[in-house]
């Protein structure tokens, strides 16, 4: 059943419910390994993220997998259960970091839909959402935002006004490029962080979706871009990272080499990810605010 303007208004009006969550240092350590850190066992900068006897740093984009509620509560279900998930794409990911992530924590999590934008019949609809995470003492930890593109759900009579506008990259050659080769078995490890979508591991499911082989998790590529910015611009000091936003452009295949191109302007690091083997842009319009 197609969505209606009334469905959208109802979803936007629901007050989010705050529910408890938690994660452990196993989760934060596994994430760092899953995005490619720790390949050099003598690299002390990266060891601080993957070995607790060396350091206790947590990659900021681990927030995308550490948001683990103990129960499911969302204002998205009634709306999105009417939408066509087969034709859904993850369009954008946004992150605001309110304080450095601890290696483990008990949390309070709330989720809400922040907008639904009608691009028109045959052009799809955008759904934006926001998840706020606090420590159990009530202090804000991080806020995650996302844009989902439902290709089959446009033309329901809603407005297209107010949709997120992508960050504009500088019109000059990159100031720095970080080359990060990846492993072909990377989706097998990243799936253990919580995203078990078989599209990324099962060749049969990948073929049904139109791919010859399974594709890499988009949020894994997101983490790899964060790794590059930490390494190149921040000397691995994650406490200086305040936000990290991207737009996903092209699917990535496991084992491809990520060339993260970066521009530094005052406290803004702009970036994009180019796939070396195919010369395509996988992540675009990246913006990182640093202290």
For position 273, which CATH number holds? 3.10.129.10
Q: Is 70 exceeded by the pLDDT of residue 34? A: yes
- One domain, residues 128 and 220: no
Rounded Cα gap, residues 258 and 279, in angstroms:
10
Which residue, among 234, 270, 263, 267, has the nearest Cα to 174 in the 3D structure?
A: 263
Look at residue 216 in the predicted model and tell me its pLDDT: 96
**Catalytic site includes residue 195:** yes
Kindly indicate the confidence band of residue 15, based on its pLDDT and cuts at 50, 70 and 90.
confident
Residue 197 located in a structural domain: yes
Which range of residues forms the domain containing residue 209?
Answer: 176-290
Q: Is 60 exceeded by the pLDDT of residue 111? A: yes
Rounded Cα gap, residues 139 and 9, in angstroms:
30
Look at residue 85 in the predicted model and tell me its pLDDT: 73
pLDDT, mean of residues 225-250 = 98
Residue 200 located in a structural domain: yes
Q: Which of 27, 153, 200, 227 is catalytic?
A: 200
- One domain, residues 11 and 128: yes
Structure tokens at 272: 């994009």
Distances (CA, A) of 228 to 13, 124, 221, 272, 274: 39, 33, 11, 10, 12
Residue 201 located in a structural domain: yes
Residue 164 located in a structural domain: no
Look at residue 287 in the predicted model and tell me its pLDDT: 98
- One domain, residues 9 and 138: yes
Q: Which of 25, 175, 195, 237 is catalytic?
A: 195
- One domain, residues 92 and 11: yes
**Catalytic site includes residue 167:** no
pLDDT, mean of residues 95-112 = 96
Q: Is 60 exceeded by the pLDDT of residue 76? A: no
Kindly indicate the confidence band of residue 73, based on its pLDDT and cuts at 50, 70 and 90.
very low
Highest mean pLDDT among 10-14, 57-61, 123-127: 57-61
Rounded Cα gap, residues 49 and 231, in angstroms:
12
Exposure string of 3-16, with b = 16+ CB inside 10 Å and e = fewer, is beeebbeebeeeeb
Residue 101 located in a structural domain: yes
Q: Is 80 exceeded by the pLDDT of residue 153? A: yes
- One domain, residues 137 and 182: no
Residue 129 located in a structural domain: yes
pLDDT, mean of residues 94-106 = 98
Q: Is 50 exceeded by the pLDDT of residue 30? A: yes
Residue 80 located in a structural domain: yes
Domains held by the chain: number = 2
In this structure, the strands spanning 140-150 and 105-118 are: unpaired
Q: Is 80 exceeded by the pLDDT of residue 86? A: no
- One domain, residues 131 and 187: no
% pLDDT > 70, the chain: 97
- One domain, residues 117 and 231: no
- One domain, residues 88 and 125: yes
Q: Would you give the end-to-end CA distance of the chain in angstroms?
A: 47
Look at residue 72 in the predicted model and tell me its pLDDT: 45
Kindly indicate the confidence band of residue 100, based on its pLDDT and cuts at 50, 70 and 90.
very high
Rounded Cα gap, residues 129 and 134, in angstroms:
17
Q: Among positive and negative, which fits the CA dihedral 215, 216, 222, 227?
A: negative
What is the Cβ-side half-sphere exposure of residue 123, based on CA atoms within 13 angstroms?
Answer: 11
Kindly indicate the confidence band of residue 241, based on its pLDDT and cuts at 50, 70 and 90.
very high
Residue 112 located in a structural domain: yes
Q: Is 50 exceeded by the pLDDT of residue 263? A: yes
- One domain, residues 226 and 273: yes
Percent helix, percent strand, percent coil in the chain, to nearest 5: 25, 30, 40
Look at residue 84 in the predicted model and tell me its pLDDT: 81
- One domain, residues 136 and 248: no
Kindly indicate the confidence band of residue 88, based on its pLDDT and cuts at 50, 70 and 90.
confident
- One domain, residues 27 and 140: yes
- One domain, residues 145 and 189: no
Which residue, among 72, 83, 75, has the nearest Cα to 13 in the 3D structure?
A: 75
């Amino acid at each position: 059943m197609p969505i209606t303007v009334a469905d959208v208004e109802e979803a936007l009006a629901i007050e989010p419910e705050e529910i408890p969550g938690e994660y452990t240092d196993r989760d934060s350590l596994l994430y760092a390994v899953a995005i490619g850190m720790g390949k050099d066992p003598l690299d002390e900068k990266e060891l601080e993220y993957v070995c607790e006897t060396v350091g206790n740093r947590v990659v900021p984009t681990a927030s995308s997998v550490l948001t683990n509620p103990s129960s499911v509560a969302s204002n998205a279900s009634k709306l999105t259960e009417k939408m066509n998930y087969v034709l859904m794409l993850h369009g954008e990911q946004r992150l605001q970091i309110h304080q450095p992530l601890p290696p483990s924590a008990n949390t309070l999590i709330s989720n809400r839909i922040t907008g639904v934008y009608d691009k028109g019949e045959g052009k799809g609809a955008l759904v934006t959402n926001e998840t706020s995470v606090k420590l159990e003492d009530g202090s804000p930890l991080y806020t995650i935002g996302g844009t989902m593109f439902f290709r089959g759900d446009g033309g329901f009579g809603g407005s297209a006004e107010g949709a997120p506008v992508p960050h504009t990259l500088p019109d000059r050659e990159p100031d720095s490029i970080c080359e990060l080769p990846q492993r072909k078995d990377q989706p097998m490890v990243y799936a253990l962080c919580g995203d078990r979508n078989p599209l990324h591991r099962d060749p049969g499911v990948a073929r049904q979706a139109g791919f010859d082989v399974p594709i890499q998790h988009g949020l894994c590529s997101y983490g790899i871009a964060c790794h590059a910015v930490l390494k190149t611009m921040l000397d691995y000091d994650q406490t200086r990272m305040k936000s990290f936003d991207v737009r996903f452009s092209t699917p990535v295949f496991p084992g491809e080499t990520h060339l993260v191109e970066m521009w530094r302007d005052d406290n803004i690091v702009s970036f994009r990810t180019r796939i070396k083997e195919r010369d395509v842009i996988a992540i675009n319009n990246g913006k990182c605010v640093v202290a």
